Amino acid sequence: MLERYVYKGNQKLRCGYTTGSCAAAAAKAASFMLFTDKSLEWISITTPKGIILNLEVKEITRGDGFVTCGIQKDSGDDADVTNGILVFATVRKADKDIVIDGGTGVGRVTRLGLNQDIGQAAINTVPRKMIYDEVMEVCEEAEYTGGLSIIISIPQGEELARKTFNPRLGIDGGLSILGTSGIVEPMSESALIDTIRTEMSSLSAEGAKYLITAPGNYGEAFIGSNFAFSEDKTVKCSNFIGETIDMAFEFKLKGLLLVGHIGKLVKLGGGIMNTHSKWADGRMEILCSCGLLAGGDTYLLKRVLDCITTDEALELFKEAGLLEAVMKVLMEKIEYHLEHRAYEGLTIGAVIFSNKFGILGETKKVQYLLDQLKNN
């Protein structure tokens, strides 16, 4: 077990190690046993972050000219569907070169813009280098100058992949072998942002110039039922509104339409581009300022500030006959902050809804974006 910890939200959380680290360790152990005909109980690798992992080798199989062994994934305190799975490597001698490929349970790339080319196993660049470097170390010690065939497999991979973004991203038949540092940090925001970047990169590479994005399941369901766009045009941006806009600019998109529940997107009216509650709330303060500009009196605004949910606040504005005016002010504020973040090269718009009131407001360029999305 890796005894390395990080602190998130005043909690001490244990780190783990990636599927890439498991694959590299399994390949290194299998290579050693292939050359020496000895068995190993433990194998050490050095991660790209410089951390040395000493990992237990499991389920060793020897056959005619090959060795297979597994390393168990440990995600630490991170919520990860791959925690506890066994990642296997089968190593055989070959005439030349070290060839790394995926076997059972490792996905295949089917779309442009991903880390590997179409048809390749979804073993990302950093894990491939980790596998290569660790195996080359064994080859040098054994003074072996021939080639090797290395097949990475995950018996549970195809089943578990259904619980990940892989099918949506265009990775079929299994999991990806991932990791940039070799170490899993619990509740990693960078992993979520990387997923958004991968999806947007893929859609851009396939020729998409306009995309629609939603923070989560509510927004995605609303898009499907109200605008009839399929999931392949929709990117989940989670709380990372600002980063998603930056990526749209990075991938040279022409337009981005954001659709979300007012409980999250109201924060954009205050320029809050990460909508997670740990960074900022401000929902009632923003609605209160919009209510003031819409003509609300002190008594009404004090009641709004005491509200717990946005729907509760909206009900008060509706009773006062100010809901439409408040939403007009809010959408103007949201449009200003979105366009400021998007610069001049990206047409951007937003639609806000609530489960109780339906569509509450749209920015000015929404219809244009919807038209472009239909023709995209």
153 and 69 assigned to the same domain: yes
Tens of pLDDT, residues 79-118: 678 999 999 999 999 988 999 999 999 999 998 778 899 9
How far apart (Å, rounded) are the C-alpha atoms in residues 248 and 37? 53
Residue 346: partners with Cβ closer than 8 Å, 6 or more residues away: 245, 248, 249, 253, 254, 255, 256
pLDDT at 27 over 60: yes
199 and 290 assigned to the same domain: yes
CA 352 to chain centre: 23
Q: What pLDDT, on the 0 to 100 scale, is given for residue 4? A: 67
Query: What pTM does this model have?
Result: 0.71
How far apart (Å, rounded) are the C-alpha atoms in residues 69 and 60? 4
How far apart (Å, rounded) are the C-alpha atoms in residues 182 and 173? 23
Q: Radius of gyration of the chain from Cα atoms?
A: 25
SS3 9: coil
CATH number at residue 34: 3.30.2110.10
81 and 215 assigned to the same domain: no
Q: What pLDDT, on the 0 to 100 scale, is given for residue 231? A: 66
Tens of pLDDT, residues 217-247: 778 888 888 887 766 678 989 899 999 999 9
Q: What pLDDT, on the 0 to 100 scale, is given for residue 53? A: 93
By DSSP bridging, strand 11-14 and strand 5-8 are antiparallel
Residues of the domain holding 150 = 5-184
201 and 278 assigned to the same domain: yes
Counting the structural domains of the chain, the total is 2
Last residue of a domain, one of 129, 162, 184: 184
The mean per-residue pLDDT over the stretch 53-57 comes to 95
Average pLDDT of every residue of the chain: 90
- The pLDDT-based confidence of 371 (bands split at 50, 70, 90) is very high
CB 275 within 8 A of CB 239: yes
By DSSP bridging, strand 86-94 and strand 147-153 are antiparallel
CB 20 within 8 A of CB 178: yes
pLDDT at 9 over 60: no
Q: Which of 18-22, 169-173, 284-288 has the lowest mean pLDDT?
A: 169-173
Task: Please report where in the chains the tokens 């504005």 appear, as a residue.
Answer: 317
Q: Give the Cα-Cα-Cα angle 218, 222, 223 (nearest 5 degrees).
A: 120
Strand segments (E) across 85-176: 86-94, 98-102, 108-109, 147-153, 171-172
The continuous run of DSSP H or E covering 69 comes out as: strand 66-72
The mean per-residue pLDDT over the stretch 177-185 comes to 84
Task: Please report where in the chains the tokens 């500009």 appear, as a residue.
Answer: 293
203 and 148 assigned to the same domain: no
Instruction: Dig out the tokens for 338 from the structure.
Output: 């979105």
195 and 79 assigned to the same domain: no
Task: Tell me 185's DSSP state.
Answer: P
How far apart (Å, rounded) are the C-alpha atoms in residues 172 and 267? 37
Tens of pLDDT, residues 265-297: 999 999 999 998 778 889 999 999 999 999 999
Q: Which of 4, 191, 186 is nearest to 78 (CA)?
A: 186
207 and 356 assigned to the same domain: yes
The mean per-residue pLDDT over the stretch 144-149 comes to 94
How far apart (Å, rounded) are the C-alpha atoms in residues 239 and 295? 31
CB 22 within 8 A of CB 47: no
Strand segments (E) across 241-363: 255-261, 347-354, 358-362
Q: What pLDDT, on the 0 to 100 scale, is given for residue 15? A: 83
242 and 197 assigned to the same domain: yes
How far apart (Å, rounded) are the C-alpha atoms in residues 134 and 27? 8
CB 219 within 8 A of CB 310: no
Instruction: Dig out the tokens for 252 from the structure.
Output: 């040279």
99 and 206 assigned to the same domain: no
Q: What pLDDT, on the 0 to 100 scale, is given for residue 329? A: 98
Asked whether the CA dihedral 122, 127, 128, 131 is positive or negative, the reply is negative
Last residue of a domain, one of 165, 184, 203: 184
Last residue of a domain, one of 184, 199, 225: 184
Number of H helices, E strands in the chain: 13, 18
171 and 228 assigned to the same domain: no
Q: What pLDDT, on the 0 to 100 scale, is given for residue 288? A: 97
160 and 275 assigned to the same domain: no
